[in-house]
Amino acid sequence: MSDNIDNDLVPRDGAEVQDGDTGKPAECGGGCCRARGAEPRCKLHSHNWLADIPGGYADSEWVEVTFKNTRKGYYKNSNHIPLEPGDIVAVEATPGHDIGTVTLTGILVEMRMKRNKLTERNERRTRREKTEMEEVRRVFRKARPADLERYEEARARENDTMIRARRIAADLGLNMKIGDVEYQGDGNKAIFYYISDERVDFRQLIKVLAETFKVRIEMKQIGARQEAGRIGGIGPCGRPLCCSVWMSNFVSVATSAARHQDLSLNPQKLAGQCAKLKCCLNFEVDTYVESSRGLPEKNVRLETVDGTFFHFKTDVLKREITYSSDKNVAANLVTISAARAREIIAMNQRGEKPDSLIAAADRKEPVKAAFGDILGDDDLTRFDKKKKKRRNKGAKAKAGSEETTENNAQQPTEQPKRPKKKKRPAKDKDGNGGTPQASAPAES
């Protein structure tokens, strides 16, 4: 193996991963959020809650620097450069230098190093941890425009390098998937992140990659959960994936977590986007385990005078158990409390049988509601009555005139009757007609 080759294997999927080893790209550690004018809320962001406390808590030579692909490191600021979270710095690397973003300063960095077992005074250290602590790396300077320009040129080659590396791995017949490529800030080193279900002998691959790209090669194996956290997505709950938002380490998930919560063992529902069991199965399993303590076993039968009852389902949080009179079919379901179930089991052990699963004190007779028909809303013939249609006066008058015109058109026309003539009085003997006058009285 040539001198420009560096093998660095990380734990396989399911092993414990230290803080900052998984998740979103390093740009989410504070740089891009501050560029948008917003407070960083990504999982790589570290809130310095000791920053405004007096007493020298902000004085420390160590700083926390985040890179791409959630890679995080601790560097010593031996030159006492005034640094704040969000500053882009050039730090020491092997070989050359790397470009990263400062995410945390002050004594809180030393506390985090102690939690991650990176203290110098720790006697019981693994070989890898001891090698890392012997190589104390320093912060060179704040990134200059020339450093940033070179860094952007190196990042522009990452996508093309990843595609070509996949083709080379396929030609060599290796059962592995190269998920991402990260170039060092000065472009002298490239980290290849790959996924594989089995151990891969990639010595020939490293030689071919080193000859092709003329850089130092480092291979890092990641799991399916780490890849899903780096890519991101939306879960079945409608929220972003937990592994890409706030989870920084992965704990193994077993099917027993689903059994404790009475979930159906359906792989399509229990598996996440990484094809592994969902991490959220571990969120509430402790609560279910605590609540399930003291519950009777599921295979216990309850003997009563009415018959034998079998377990049907259990509500762990309510501590209620439902029993069925048939073992295979849900029939005559009765729900009782866990205390009542234990009481019946104790009676059966003594050879006694209760009258019913439900205690006499808990039986509630159904209350019949007494009500009367006050408004007649319950009359069966209430819809048979025809309601008179109301019309407006204008519409009614118009309809009446139209009916009259129609009737007149249908009836035959009649001649108007002539008025009757008055009879004239008859003429007298003298031939005088007209109105009879009163005759004068005769003279004597």
Q: 347-395: per-residue pLDDT in tens?
A: 999 999 888 888 766 666 666 666 555 555 566 666 666 666 666 666 6
Measured CA to CA in angstroms, residue 329 lies from 311, 323, 333, 405 at distances of: 11, 11, 10, 77
Section 406-423 average pLDDT: 56
pLDDT at 425: 58
Least-confidence region, from 121-130, 181-190, 391-400, 419-428 = 121-130
What element of type H or E holds 220?
Answer: strand 216-221
Report the mean per-residue pLDDT for the chain. Answer: 75
pLDDT at 171 over 60: yes
**CA dihedral of residues 249, 252, 258, 260 (deg, nearest 10):** -100
Query: Measuring CA to CA, which residue among 245, 226, 221, 222 is closest to residue 234?
Result: 245
What pLDDT is recorded for position 183? 92
Residue 444 has pLDDT above 70, yes or no: no
pLDDT of residue 85: 86
Alpha carbons 269 and 282: distance in angstroms, whole number? 15
Residue 407 pLDDT exceeds 70:
no
pLDDT greater than 50 at residue 35: no
Dig out the tokens for 271 from the structure.
Answer: 């598996």
Instruction: Name the band, by pLDDT with cuts 50, 70 and 90, for residue 422.
Output: low
Question: For residues 251 and 285, is the Cβ–Cβ distance under 8 A?
Answer: no
Query: What phi, psi does 155 have (nearest 5°)?
Result: -70, -30
Question: Tokens at residue 377, please?
Answer: 């809303």
Has residue 338 got a pLDDT over 60?
A: yes
296 DSSP 8-state letter: P
pLDDT at residue 226, rounded to an integer = 84
Q: What is the pLDDT of residue 84?
A: 86
Compute the distance between CA of residue 207 and CA of residue 8 in angstroms, rounded to an integer.
15
Window from 20-24, 269-273, 357-361, 408-412 with minimum mean pLDDT: 20-24
Number of helices and strands (H, E) in the chain? 12, 13
Indicate whether 332 pLDDT > 60: yes
The pLDDT assigned to 281 comes to 92
Tens digit of each residue's pLDDT (9 = 90 or more) over 50-65: 777 766 566 788 888 9
Tokens of 145: 């425009």
- Angle (CA) 384-387-404 rounded to 5° is 130
Contact 244, 24 (CB under 8 A): yes
Residue 39's pLDDT band (boundaries 50, 70, 90)? very low
Judged against a pLDDT cut of 90, whether residue 163 lies above it is answered with: yes
pTM, full prediction: 0.57
Mean pLDDT for the stretch of residues 83-88 = 88
| pLDDT top residue among 425 and 258 | 258
Helices (H), 72-223: 107-115, 127-134, 145-156, 158-171, 203-213
CB atoms within 10 A of CB 40: 20
**Which range, 69-73, 303-307, 425-429, has the best average confidence (pLDDT)?**
303-307
Rounded CA separation 225/12 (Å) = 11
